[in-house]
Structure 1
Amino acid sequence: MSRLAEFRALEQQLAAQLAELESLKNDDGLKREIEFEKKLRDLLGEYGYSLRNIVAILDPQATARSTAPAPIADRGTRKPRQLKVYKNPHSGEIIETKGGNHKRLKEWKSKYRSQEVDSWRTQ
């Protein structure tokens, strides 16, 4: 789409939104809601209450439901990783690791293939 076409499309969208805004400004129902909200906020300010206080008064369980943390499943402790020992038959070098993120082990796997290095495991 060219920049000019994009500009015109956005201009049309803006004109439609402005027309919708004007129709909402003239809506009696919206005017009543705005007036109600303004009066309610003034009243809350006069008595020093917030909307949360009003919700707590009208529905005491609502605050208990919203503030209570969700129950966390008992994850327990993770079992320790098993120690793996690799012995390189070419150099006689031994590597002991609990994970696969060992620098030297990765070098061996890239040089000799993973399957061959896995066959070097002694434990």
Structure 2
Amino acid sequence: MVKINDYYKKKQLMDQLAQEIQEMEQNNDLKKEFEFKDNLSKLMDQYGKSAKDVLEVLGNIDPSVRGKGDTSSGVGETRRKRPLKVYKNPHTGEVVKTRGGNQKDLNAWRQQYGREAVDSWVQS
């Protein structure tokens, strides 16, 4: 009976989604967005341009259009630094400051004491 109940629940969800899609298709704003998308695609085809080309042109006009990883301008755009973590070994009193997790002393401690134990030694 579990399978038949699951079937009817999914069938009900599918009918509900179909009704929502039908309502969305009647929305004039959505129709305008589809029309814009189609016209833009035709224009890109007419000039032999890709979406990447369009975004590059728009990014030159308005830099806020650029994606997060796009640093094509190269001016003053750098990646954020990782936070500094300070580990203090309670057994030896040794202190390690690092911005990454792949540090020589940390790896040695992890092998000796275990990852969870070393991760609990973070001071700040």
The answer for the alignment partner of 2:18 in structure 1 is 18
Structure 1 residues without counterparts, runs of 5 or longer: 82-98, 101-123
Structure 2 residues without counterparts, runs of 5 or longer: 72-77, 83-98, 113-124
Call closer, same or farther: CA 1:77–1:4 in 2, change over 3 Å.
closer
Letter in 1 for 2:5: A
SS at match of 1:59: helix
- Please show how residues 81-96 of structure 1 align to structure 2 within 5 Å: none
The answer for the alignment partner of 1:46 in structure 2 is 46
Question: 1:15: how far off?
Answer: 0.8
Q: Deviations over 1:18-64 (max 9, x none)?
A: 11111112111111111110000100111112222222122235658
Question: 1:67: how far off?
Answer: 3.9
Larger radius of gyration: 1
Cα distance in structure 2, aligned partners of 1:48 and 1:37: 16
Task: Give TM-score scaled by structure 1 length.
Answer: 0.50
Percent of residue pairs identical: 17
SS at match of 2:69: helix
Task: Give TM-score scaled by structure 2 length.
Answer: 0.50
- Please show how residues 1-123 of structure 1 align to structure 2 within 5 Å: 2-60=2-60, 61=63, 66-68=69-71, 70=79, 78=104
Call closer, same or farther: CA 1:44–1:70 in 2, change over 3 Å.
same
